[in-house]
Structure 1
Amino acid sequence: MEKTTSQKLRLGLFVIIGLLLFILAVYFIGDKQQMFGKTNKLSAVFNNVSGLQLGNNVRYSGINVGTVRGIAMINDTAIRVDMLIDKTIFPHIRKNAIATIGSDGLVGNMIINIIPGKEIAASILPGDEIRTLNRIRSDDMLNTLGKTNKNAALLTADLLKITKEINQGTGTVGLLIKDSMLAKDLKLTMLYLKITGKGSSESMIKLNRLISSLENKDNVIGVLKDTAVANNLKAIVRNLKQTSTEIDKIISRVDTTIVNIKDGKGAINYLSNDPKLVHKIDSTMTNINDASFRLNENLEALKHNFLFRGYFRKQEKAKMKERKKEEQQK
């Protein structure tokens, strides 16, 4: 059946609209994937790309600046990733920038993040290779989380065991909780410790006051710190030292004299060691005493003699006059 003109127009209009939508879709998708813009190549080598695919975004400081255009295995520990980066971004990327692989959100696609360097460096050139940083993968995190869960389960079991023993009153902690007498003793001990601590604090305060009082010049330590007293003490010590030296000299001389006496030198040793001389001296003293006694007897006899009686009376009168004068003068 032959189509009418209106149908042909509708079909042509539908085809044109569909073609325009297709062109717009290709344009937007290509613009998003940096297919029609001016781009340059940039490379990076990773140990693990963590599920990165062709067409994933490349971000610099959180801004989409390119896409992944190639992933190639270099060896068993190195994977080369080629990126197409907007030319206008190249002057902002420095040679000390670092590329890392992350995810777009918690469950989003994998992306490459280029982190700016902290120090000033030259701009990167097309075709250069930048440094990379391999972050912890989600598999490693899950493995670590699994180990942590196992450890948490073991800790929970031990905690339940300890709690059960405490409730049953076994062990030190259970005994402290269940035994009321022990709790009272513990309270009493803490009270005594508190009292002791208070006494120690007061003792320390008194000790600090005592140490501060030592700086006062009215006490012994303060007097000793006085420079004048210190000089006087130095002079006293110096005089004592000189006196000690003189005493040493005298003692040495006395020692010499004693040695001379022991060796038979001098009159003292002669007197002390010669018995004949001592006997003669005793006899002489006895004779002197006898002569003195006889002389007194002779003087008494002369007093009674008529020839010398007048003389002695004159002497007695003269002595009486002198005594009276002395008594009058007093």
Structure 2
Amino acid sequence: MSREARVGLLALAGIALFVIALFAIANRSFLLSDTFLLRARFNRVAGLVPGAPVQFQGVNVGRVESVQLPPEPGGQIEVTMAIKEEARRVIHVRTQAQIKSEGLVGQQIVVLVNPPGVQGEPVSEGDLIVGVDPFDLFEITDRALASVQRFEDAANAFRQIMLDVRAGEGTLGKLIYDPTLYDEFVATTNETRRVLNNLANNAEALVALAEEATQGVQSILDKIDRGEGTMARMLNDPALYERLLATADTLRLVASDLRAITGAAENAANWGALGAYRFAELMEAAKHNWLFRRYFEERGYMERAPFEVRERAIEQAYRQLQARMRELDAWERQLQEREARLKALETRLSALADSLAGTDGR
């Protein structure tokens, strides 16, 4: 075989290997498979880059097509994923896109997870699914460092407290290092021992005194049982009980008489009040009689009667209440009109929001 033939065969073999490798890589990254696009939004992506694999239950079902920055500060990052067409049957609109690390220190990947017990409609081209932010190790580290710093501050404070206690400062330091407390405790113990000794020495006298008191009480009870003394007569004499019953009946009769007298006095007071009211009416009528009016005018008694003043005040208060009720009715009508306008405006805003949401979905 000539040299040119060998070179040609070698070139053909290299081209074949290149094509085979190209197809393998393309098939691995789903470049030659039928795919559809899905979108998810995240607050942070933890270093996710285009080309990262997309997995469903540990199986590669697609790749990350693009990672777009938010249109404005504080917005969300939109990640577009190319998913194999055959995975469409296991993905629905409630599926969550979670960003996780492949291994402990591996690259960031997207994992599609279906919440348990949740069903949804099948996804379409370009649908937006829920994005779950990745685990932020730096935030946990910052919190741990803050906790360590607080623990260190607490340890320093406790160390300072122990130094103060060793120096005999503060209440605890004085309790531990001040000998005065020990001296007072010893003195208290000695005083307690002395009191206990005195009690032990006087125990026999106290027992004898208690026995004498018991005998005295027993003697009094014996006299009462025999009917001797005033207390015994009060307890055993039935005549005293009968006299007490008679006295109670007398008091009951007296109370009944007092109630009758009180009722009569109350009736008399009512009749007196009624008579005074009628007399006041007669005098008021005499003021307006043409025969006596001149006399009352010359004496200066033509002022209004108290009941006329009360009636005039009641009438004025009633008029004020009616005016206030009319004002409240007007305010109520105004509030109802404003509420109707607010409801109409809310309906318009809801319709506008629905139309805007439909426009964003398209």
TM-score by length of 2: 0.44
Bigger Rg, structure 1 or 2: 1
